Structure 1
């Protein structure tokens, strides 16, 4: 039944038989047969069918909640048993807001040094996407904001508080200043993240608190695009301190801290609320806590 529940989860996510079959790397008739067999086993119709996928029935919506729980528990059981005889090993999927990617690198570097038989896939995603990926069991954990917008039923481990800096060309009038204010930045030629990104909404609050409204010339969901516009177009962008310093390395750019108040959100590790956590996730949560305590991303010594 687990295999058929996996098929059902894929179909509910993709809402298209062909895409769901491709996602599972199986033939579409195999998927259709598996869904029908699951319906027969449960004694209810799960999927509205016509010439194409027509959505889940009310019974299908309720079954989806159970399917996620059962498949998630099965995966955790598999990981638990593997750890009991082979130690920590396996694959962790981590989704990260773009502004926390440097912290994700610190976390994965420390973790893989201590646990070399675990490997990672790290995805850059918006905060809303991270919650969807967790709910659909497409990732194991996420790095996102903890105290700005609702997270739902997750377990959260704070990692760091986010302060901001302006990033500008080295010959820009702001470059010689020790600090900048939100009001100073509102009149600059700005390139900022798109409004669908939670970081942009946080930055907007900083401007609002100062009584000003930014008018960005360029918007992008990529921090690389933002910094490239600073390098090649003379723009000013706003990024978390550590990310600004990292992306300015090797470029003729200045990093000017913004220190006149404003938002200081907490970024942390989130996972679906579950009991117990698998040994690998327990170790990841512990590593995130260790980074938070020391404020350091230096790799930990292997035990």
Structure 2
């Protein structure tokens, strides 16, 4: 039954028989037959059918919750036995919000030193996508905001507090200031992350709290593109302090603290809330705690 539950999870994720079958590496008739067999075994309809996939039934939604739990337990058992035989090995899948990407090496580098048979796949995505990827077993851990928008049922390890700075070129407005207010920053030609990014929603909220609104002249989901525009000397942006420190801004780029309010938001590692975790996830969470302690001492 485990394989059929995995097929069902893929169908619920893709919401399309053809795409789910392609992802699973099977034919669409094979997938349809497996879902029908699962329905027969459970005695309920799981999928609303028509000329195309129309969603899950109420029973299907409940079975999906059980399927994720059962498949997760089965994968944990297999990984635990594999780790007992030859230690941690395989690919670690991580999804991180763009503003946290610069911190990923703090986690991956010492982890691989301890576990040399591990490789990594790291993708940048929105905070909502991080949670969706976790729920669908497509990543092992995520790195995202912990205290701003609902996370659901996840295990968390706080890493650091994100604070915000005006990043601008020397000679631009406010570049000679020791600090600047959110209301003043709103007057500048800003390049910011796109509205689907939680960082942008945080920035919008703090600007609104200061009685201002963001009027960006450029939006992108790429931090590299934002940096490249700042370096022209014609643009400014709002970026986390830790990101500015990692990039090592020097002349002619200035990083100026933003106050009124002096805002901060917690960023950390998230994983599916389950006991036990897979050996890989357990080791990653332990390493995240070590990183958090090191950052706190720095």
TM-score range, shorter chain: over 0.9
* 8 Å contact kept, 2:172–2:233: no
State the match for 1:110 in structure 2.
Answer: 110
Q: Name the CA distance, whole Å, in 2 between partners of 1:297 and 1:135.
A: 33
* 8 Å contact kept, 1:206–1:262: no
State the match for 1:244 in structure 2.
Answer: 244
Q: Name the CA distance, whole Å, in 1 between partners of 2:78 and 2:177.
A: 55
State the match for 2:198 in structure 1.
Answer: 198
State the match for 1:301 in structure 2.
Answer: none
State the 1:255 CA deviation.
Answer: 2.2
State the match for 2:79 in structure 1.
Answer: 79
State the match for 1:270 in structure 2.
Answer: 270
Q: Name the CA distance, whole Å, in 2 between partners of 1:246 and 1:188.
A: 24
Where does structure 1 lack aligned partners over 5 or more consecutive residues?
Answer: 299-303
Does residue 33 (structure 1) correspond to residue 28 (structure 2)? The answer is no
Match runs of 1:18-167 below 5 Å: 18-167=18-167
* 8 Å contact kept, 1:157–1:270: yes
State the match for 2:220 in structure 1.
Answer: 220
Give the aligned CA root-mean-square deviation in angstroms: 2.1
State the 1:165 CA deviation.
Answer: 1.5
Q: Identify if the C-alpha distance between structure 1 residues 32 and 297 changes in structure 2 by more than 3 Å, giving closer, same or farther.
A: farther
Q: Deviations over 1:193-250 (max 9, x none)?
A: 2222111121123223333222212222222222222234711111111323444658
Q: Identify if the C-alpha distance between structure 1 residues 252 and 246 changes in structure 2 by more than 3 Å, giving closer, same or farther.
A: farther
Where does structure 2 lack aligned partners over 5 or more consecutive residues?
Answer: none
TM-score (norm 1): 0.91
- State the secondary structure of the residue aligned to 2:231: helix
* 8 Å contact kept, 2:249–2:255: no
* 8 Å contact kept, 2:94–2:121: yes
- State the secondary structure of the residue aligned to 1:138: coil
Q: Name the CA distance, whole Å, in 2 between partners of 1:79 and 1:297.
A: 34
Q: Name the CA distance, whole Å, in 2 between partners of 1:21 and 1:165.
A: 47
Aligned residues: 298
* 8 Å contact kept, 1:231–1:251: no
* 8 Å contact kept, 1:94–1:122: yes
Q: Name the CA distance, whole Å, in 1 between partners of 2:172 and 2:135.
A: 45
Q: Name the CA distance, whole Å, in 1 between partners of 2:42 and 2:94.
A: 33
Q: Name the CA distance, whole Å, in 1 between partners of 2:24 and 2:218.
A: 38
TM-score (norm 2): 0.92
State the 1:297 CA deviation.
Answer: 11
